[in-house]
Amino acid sequence: MSWMNWLVWGFLATAVLTTVMAGSEGFGLTRMNIPHMLGTMFTANRDRAKVYGVVAHFLNGWVFSIVYVAGFHVAHLFTWWFGMALGLIHGLFVVAVAAPVLPGVHPRMASELRGPTVARQLEPPGFLALNYGARTPISVLIAHLAFGAILGGFYTPRDGRQRARSSPPPVLGFVGVGGMQRPDASSCLSVAVSRATNENTYPQ
């Protein structure tokens, strides 16, 4: 595992994830503000909550990026599409599992079972975070797909040959004639040039 690669690309992937989520709220795709939601777990001050939330979100992103990197090494796949696959699983987990149980650990979030109280004023996300808008799960999935694609596409293991082995090897072109397989023209030309070079080379 390359720790420097993880630090750099984990940070950048988390920055993109946070930016996409913030942009989704800014453009009206969702009402969910994750930094505010996380920050209010530590303080009731709205301004400080956003600062605490951004820091907490970046730390969470780095932690989860380690899980992604571990998955790359276990599967021996270091590709953007495998990163997106992990991002899809991660995003589905966030909206389907983590969001509904958040009121159980958030001291200032109301519960769908008991409703708001004096101390609990934040609206709960609900299943798939649909309480914050019908397009909320879409924005969450897009953000996590981008997160995984960046990690899978740019993270390079300490042994760079592992990334090379994760890509399919080149295949020689063959042309079928009458049910038989023979090399195509480009393959034959390269072989002919090689033979001609060898035949015209004499020992000094």
153-188 pLDDT tens trace:
999 887 765 555 555 544 444 444 444 455 554 554
pTM surpassing 0.85? no
Q: What is the pLDDT of residue 174?
A: 45
Clarify whether residues 84 and 44 are in a common domain: yes
In the chain, how many domains are there?
2
SS3 105: coil
Clarify whether residues 133 and 157 are in a common domain: yes
Q: In terms of residue numbers, what domain contains 204?
A: 173-204
The percent of residues above 70 in pLDDT, for the chain, comes to 77
Clarify whether residues 64 and 81 are in a common domain: yes
SS3 124: coil
Clarify whether residues 146 and 55 are in a common domain: yes
Clarify whether residues 145 and 196 are in a common domain: no
Q: What is the pLDDT of residue 46?
A: 86
Clarify whether residues 143 and 201 are in a common domain: no
Could you tell me which of 158, 171, 94 has the C-alpha nearest to residue 128?
A: 94
Clarify whether residues 116 and 179 are in a common domain: no
Paired with 176 in beta bridges are 181
